[in-house]
Amino acid sequence: MAKGPFYYDPLRHTERAIERRNLVLSLMARNGCLTDVQAASAKASPLQINSISQRTLTGIAPHFVEYIRQSLLQKAEKLGFNIFKDGLSVYTTIDSRMQRHANRAVEEHLAEQQLIFNKSWNWARHQDVLALALDKTIRETFVYRRATSSHERDSIMKALKVHQPFIDSVKTLWQGLQVGFIVVDPHNGGIRAMVGGSDFRSFKYGLNHTTQIERQPGSSFKPFVYTVAIDNGYAPSTELLNEPVSIPMADKSYWKPENSDGSIGGKYTMREGLRESINLVAIHAILELAPPEQVVEYARRMGITTHIPPYYSIALGTASVIPLDMAAAFGVFANEGVYVHPNAILRIEDKDGNVLEESVSDRREILSRETAYLMTSMLEDVVNRGTGIRVRSFFHYPAAGKTGTTQDFADAWFVGYTPALSAAAWVGFDDQRVKFTNWDGQGGRAAAPLWGRFMQYVYEDNSIKLPEQAFVRPEGVVVDTICVDTKKLATPYCPEKMAEVFNTKHQPAACEKHTADWREGEQPAGKTRF
C-alpha cells in the first residue's frame, strides 16, 4: 500500500500527492533506478490518476461500509476475532436498491440547492468567515506543515492568502452543502440506506453526517412536545394561544421566543400549530400541557441519545440531536408506538460458517397505539398542507413528517415516515459559520424535497414492492365531527363543522354554544369541513 493513502489522496490533496511522487522519483534516481533525465521528465508531467471510478472502488455505500467497520472493531475483542485476518462473513441490513435511490436523490437535490445557495451567498459580506477559512485551510496544507520555522510558515501564510486560485478553491470548499440522509425500517430497525455526506461518490474517512454530527433539529423536535400532550389526555383539537411569553432565566434575564414571521394573536389547535410550525403555540404547549422534564423523558425513551436539558426552549429544537436517532424516533409513530433500536448487522460468521453473533431486535413499547396514530394524523397534515408540502411535489402515497429550521438558517431538516420506512434528512454546512442566507434554508425547501425524491424512487421501483396502504387507525381512535368555533363535539345546530380524530378515552364534550335555542328559528344544518 502506498504511504498515507488518505493524506496523499490525489483527488483531495493533489499538491501533497505530487510532492510525494517527486520525492520517490528523486530517491529512484539516487539509487540508480532512473536516470536524472528520466526523473526530471517524470516530475514535469501532470499527475496521472487511474480512470477506474471511485464508485467502483468504494461501492455504493462507503459511509455505511465504514460504519460497519467501526461496529466490527467494537465487537472484535468481545467476540475474539480479527476483522482484517479472520475471513469473516458479515451480513448487513442495507438494501442496495434503496441505497442507489438515496444516492440519486441526494445528488439531484444537492445540485439544485447548491446553485440556489451560490446565488445568495456573498463572500464580500462574510470576510470574517473567509479569513478563518483561509487560515484553517492553509495550516492543513502539506507545504505549511513541513515548514521548519515560524518565519517560513508566516511567508507561506501571506503568500497563499493573496493567491487567487487558492482563495477560490477554499471558497468552493467551504460553501459546499453537506448532507446526512438515513433510512430505517421502523418495524425491525434495519438501516436500509445511508448517505453520510455530499462526497458519497468517493470513500472518506471523515465525518459521517448521519451518525457523527449533533445539530439542533429546530421545529422537527416539536412532535416530542405534542406527543407528551396527547399522551396526557389532550386532543389534536385542543386550543393554545399564539401570544408572546416572557420566561425568566437563571441569570435574571428573560427569554422571549417569537414566531419565525413575527406574527402573534389568536388561538390555534395543536393540529394547526404543528402543521404551520407556529413557535409560540409549541411554547404554550410545553408551558401548559407537556412539562419539559416529561418531554425529555419521552425523547430519551423514543431513541434520542444526546443530552436534552429540561428547558422550555427545547420546544423549538434548541438541543442537539443525531440524524439516525431522529429517524428511529419517528419510526415509533410508524410502528404503532413501538421503538426498535436501529441496527446495521444481521449476522457475523467465521470463515467456516459458524455464527459468531446474530442480531436480536431491541424492541420497546413506548406509546399507546392511539397516541401514535393521533400524532401520525397530525404529522400527515404537515405533509399534505403544511410546512412539508414540498414532499408532495414528488411523493403522493401516505406519509407523515416534520420540517425543521434552526436559528439564522444554519440547519435544515425533514424527518418523516411512511407505513414502511422512516427517514431523516439533514442539510447544512460543516462549518456552522456558513449558513443559508434566506428562506431557501427552511427545512421545507432545503430538506423536504430530498426526502420526497427518495420515497418517489423507492415506491416506483417494482423490484422493491413496498405496500402503498394508509396508516391503520386502531380501535381506540374514532373520527368525529367538531364545531369549528368551539372545538367541541358538534351539535346539529353548529353552523360550521369539521372532522377530527380522538382517543375514545379523551373525547371532548358537546358544544354548548350552538343549541336548539342558540338562535330562534335556526335550522339544524351547516357546513362540514374535512
Q: What is the CATH number of the domain that holds 290?
A: 3.40.710.10
The reply to whether 289 and 214 lie within a common domain is yes
Please tell me whether residues 301 and 369 are part of one structural domain.
Answer: yes
Does residue 57 surpass a pLDDT of 50? no
Q: Of 174, 194, 214, which one is at a domain's C-terminal end?
A: 174
Pairing of strands 496-503, 527-529: parallel
In a domain, 237, yes or no: yes
In the chain, the percentage of residues whose pLDDT exceeds 70 is 93
Contact by Cβ (8 Å): 415, 424: yes
pLDDT in tens, 342-384: 999 999 999 999 999 998 889 999 999 999 999 999 999 999 9
Dist. CA 409–CA 426, nearest whole Å: 12
pLDDT tens string 254-307: 999 999 888 999 999 999 999 999 999 999 999 999 999 999 999 999 999 999
Note the helical H segments in 45-149.
54-58, 62-79, 96-120, 127-139, 142-145
Task: Examine the pLDDT at 49 and tell me if it is beyond 80.
Answer: no
Angle at Cα 374 formed by Cα 390 and Cα 420, nearest 5°? 60
For residues 229 and 374, state if they share a domain: yes
Average pLDDT score over residue span 11-39? 84
User: In this structure, which amino acid lies at residue 357?
Assistant: E
> Is the domain of 449 the same as that of 486?
no
Question: Does residue 453 lie within any of the structural domains?
Answer: yes
Whole-number Å distance between alpha carbons of 421 and 399:
10
Domain count, the chain: 4
Q: Tell whether 170 and 184 lie within a shared domain.
A: no
Whether 100 is in a domain gets the answer no
A 10 A CB-CB count for 123 gives 15
Residue 175 confidence (pLDDT) above 50: yes
Judgement on whether residues 157 and 195 belong to the same structural domain of the protein: no
Do 324 and 435 fall within a single domain?
yes
Residue 104: how many CB atoms within 10 A of its CB? Answer: 13
Whether residues 323 and 421 fall in one domain: yes
Q: Is residue 79 part of a domain?
A: no
Q: Please tell me whether residues 166 and 189 are part of one structural domain.
A: no
The verdict on 334 and 483 lying in the same domain is no
Regarding whether 156 and 193 lie in a shared domain, the answer is no
Does residue 178 contact residue 427 with C-beta atoms inside 8 Å? yes
The answer to the question of residue 490 being in a domain is: yes
Secondary structure element (H or E) that encloses residue 501, with its range = strand 496-503
Domain, as residue range, for 505: 477-529
Q: For the chain, give the mean pLDDT.
A: 91
Q: Report the candidate in 374, 373, 372, 467 with the shortest Cα–Cα distance to residue 420.
A: 467
Strand pairing report for 412-417 and 422-428: antiparallel
Say what the pTM is.
Answer: 0.86
- pLDDT of 489-508, one tens digit each? 999 999 999 999 999 999 99
List of residues 6+ apart from 360 with CB closer than 8 A? none
Residue 295 within a domain: yes
Based on the fold, state whether residues 493 and 403 are members of the same structural domain. no
Do β-strands 191-195 and 527-529 pair in parallel, antiparallel, or remain unpaired?
unpaired
Residue 468 inside a domain? The answer is no
